[in-house]
């Protein structure tokens, strides 16, 4: 035993980074390992940045990561994390998928952060494993691969697969992994280094509390909105929502107008349109598929309602996002 509680040998951590990655997700993954090395005064985690090529990898902001290795290299790794942002559902490189599969067959613990779990799923590596992904990508992934065991958690560790929602969630994930490798007291030291004193459990929610999102503490409204968020593709009718809220349809409508400035079903429609807008920017689904995924009767109905709400047809929105890269 050494001062940190274990004599575990150095772990080799590969980090496959995609262009358009979020700096926050990347930093929240690597910084706890850097701090662990610093606090232990020896290398516990040897991190290796990997690119699809040998070219610099640019983030969604101004940061750049220089790869030390690239896909296809023979690397002896203990963990391999895929960090991706942008639209990972559109990535379809068979050589990368084959390399990831070889790593998994070699016994490497495979991980995905933010949009990275989608890459693992598209490589066929998440079958029969519980997983999570950033909430922004969850609807698209569920639509493309409905067989996946998808959860809305901060992170999921299922045997040899580790998936994480991104953002600041990798700090909670790394606390769990460092505790597993080197003990909870040392993991707390690492978390304290970043003033990350409120460690969240793996099953913690990805998004702010319902009260903060809705802007109301009224129990009936919260019950109704919770039901709406759970039923996007197959919308409930007003009578069903009012039954859930324990009010008459008229009472529920009055409450929504008084507290939120919209009728119950207008609020529901806007919520579904927001989900559709997210799919337009973060999935390769067709307009018809997006319409079905967000509870609209047809693509023409969806396009008409979308244009009325946002002032432009959904096809224009998708084109503009594609031009921005």
Q: Say how far apart CA 12 and CA 17 lie, in whole Å.
A: 16
**β strands within the chain, DSSP E:** 11-17, 45-51, 57-58, 64-65, 69-70, 79-84, 109-114, 130-132, 149-151, 155-158, 161-164
φ/ψ bin of 314: left (φ > 0), alpha (ψ from -120 to 50), beta (otherwise)? alpha
pLDDT of residue 194: 92
Strand, helix or coil for residue 21 = strand
Largest Cα span, the chain:
68
Q: Are 241 and 227 in contact (CB under 8 A)?
A: yes
Highest averaged pLDDT of the listed ranges 194-198, 206-210, 241-245, 263-267:
263-267
Arithmetic mean of pLDDT, 209-214: 78
DSSP output for 34-87:
HHHHHHHTS-SEEEEEEESSSS-EEBSSS-EE--SEETT-----SEEEEEE-S-
Please determine, for residue 7, whether its predicted confidence score (pLDDT) is greater than 50.
Answer: yes
Closest CA to 111 of 179, 35, 165: 165
Higher pLDDT: 284 or 120? It is 120
Token pair of 184 as six digits: 């909870």
pLDDT of residue 2: 52
pLDDT in tens, 66-118: 999 999 999 999 999 999 998 898 899 999 999 999 999 999 999 999 999 99
Please determine, for residue 322, whether its predicted confidence score (pLDDT) is greater than 60.
Answer: no
Place of tokens 């990275």: 116
**Which of 13-27, 99-113, 167-181 is the least confident region?**
167-181
pTM surpassing 0.75? Answer: no
Closest CA to 85 of 58, 106, 104: 58
Per DSSP, 8 falls in state P
Q: Say how far apart CA 117 and CA 133 lie, in whole Å.
A: 6
Q: Are 11 and 44 in contact (CB under 8 A)?
A: yes
Give 209: exposed, middle or buried? Use CB within 10 Å, 0-12, 13-18, 19+. exposed
- ∠ at Cα 27 (25, 29), nearest 5°? 70
- Domain boundaries 11-193, corresponding CATH code: 3.40.50.880
Q: Are 145 and 128 in contact (CB under 8 A)?
A: no
Superfamily of 210-324 according to CATH: Homeodomain-like (1.10.10.60)
Place of tokens 């662990």: 36
CB atoms within 10 A of CB 3: 10
CB atoms within 10 A of CB 84: 27
Q: Are 263 and 253 in contact (CB under 8 A)?
A: yes
pLDDT classification of 39: cutoffs 50, 70, 90: very high
Please determine, for residue 232, whether its predicted confidence score (pLDDT) is greater than 90.
Answer: no
Per the prediction, the chain carries an average pLDDT of: 89
Place of tokens 């999570």: 132
CA dihedral 204, 123, 92, 55 (to 10 degrees): 80
Please determine, for residue 207, whether its predicted confidence score (pLDDT) is greater than 90.
Answer: no
Q: Say how far apart CA 155 and CA 206 lie, in whole Å.
A: 9
pLDDT of residue 203: 65
* Segments of the chain assigned to CATH 3.40.50.880: 11-193
Q: Say how far apart CA 167 and CA 22 lie, in whole Å.
A: 8
Arithmetic mean of pLDDT, 304-322: 80
pLDDT of residue 321: 52
Q: Are 46 and 79 in contact (CB under 8 A)?
A: no
Arithmetic mean of pLDDT, 134-150: 83
Length of the chain equals 325
* Segments of the chain assigned to CATH 1.10.10.60: 210-324
**Which of 45-59, 72-86, 173-187 is the least confident region?**
173-187
Please determine, for residue 246, whether its predicted confidence score (pLDDT) is greater than 80.
Answer: yes
pLDDT of residue 107: 97
pLDDT of residue 272: 92
Cα dihedral 100, 101, 106, 108 sign? positive
pLDDT of residue 164: 96
At residue 96, φ and ψ (nearest 5 deg) are: -65, -45
Helix (H) or strand (E) holding 94: helix 94-105
């Amino acid at each position: 035993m050494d001062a940190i509680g274990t004599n575990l040998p150095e772990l080799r951590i590969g980090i496959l980074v995609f262009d358009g990655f979020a700096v926050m997700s990347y930093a929240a993954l690597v910084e706890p390992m850097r701090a662990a090395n610093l606090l232990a005064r020896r290398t516990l985690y040897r991190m290796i940045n990997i690119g699809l090529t040998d070219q610099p990898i640019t983030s969604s902001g101004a940061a750049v990561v220089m790869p030390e290795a690239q896909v296809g290299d023979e690397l002896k790794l203990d963990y391999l994390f895929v960090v991706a942002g942008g639209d990972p559902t559109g990535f379809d490189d068979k050589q990368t998928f084959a390399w990831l599969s070889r790593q998994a067959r070699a016994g490497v613990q495979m991980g995905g952060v933010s949009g990275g779990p989608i890459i693992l799923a598209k490589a066929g590596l998440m079958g029969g494993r519980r997983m999570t992904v950033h909430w922004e990508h969850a609807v698209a992934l569920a639509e493309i691969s409905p067989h996946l065991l998808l959860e809305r958690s901060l992170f999921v560790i299922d045997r040899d697969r580790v998936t994480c929602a991104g953002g600041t969630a990798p700090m909670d994930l790394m606390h769990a992994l460092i505790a597993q490798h080197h003990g909870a007291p040392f993991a707390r030291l690492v978390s304290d280094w970043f003033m990350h004193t409120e460690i969240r459990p793996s099953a913690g929610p990805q998004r702010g509390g319902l009260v903060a999102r809705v802007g109301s503490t009224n129990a009936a409204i919260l019950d109704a909105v919770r039901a709406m968020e759970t039923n996007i593709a197959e919308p409930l009718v007003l009578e069903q929502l009012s039954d859930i809220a324990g009010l008459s349809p008229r009472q529920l409508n009055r409450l929504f107008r008084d507290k939120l400035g919209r009728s119950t079903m207008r609020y529901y429609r806007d919520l579904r349109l927001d989900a559709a807008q997210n799919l337009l920017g973060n999935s390769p689904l067709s307009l018809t598929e997006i319409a079905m995924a967000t509870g609209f009767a047809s693509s023409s109905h969806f396009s008409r309602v979308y244009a009325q709400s946002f002032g432009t047809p959904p096809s224009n929105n998708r084109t503009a996002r594609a031009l921005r890269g």
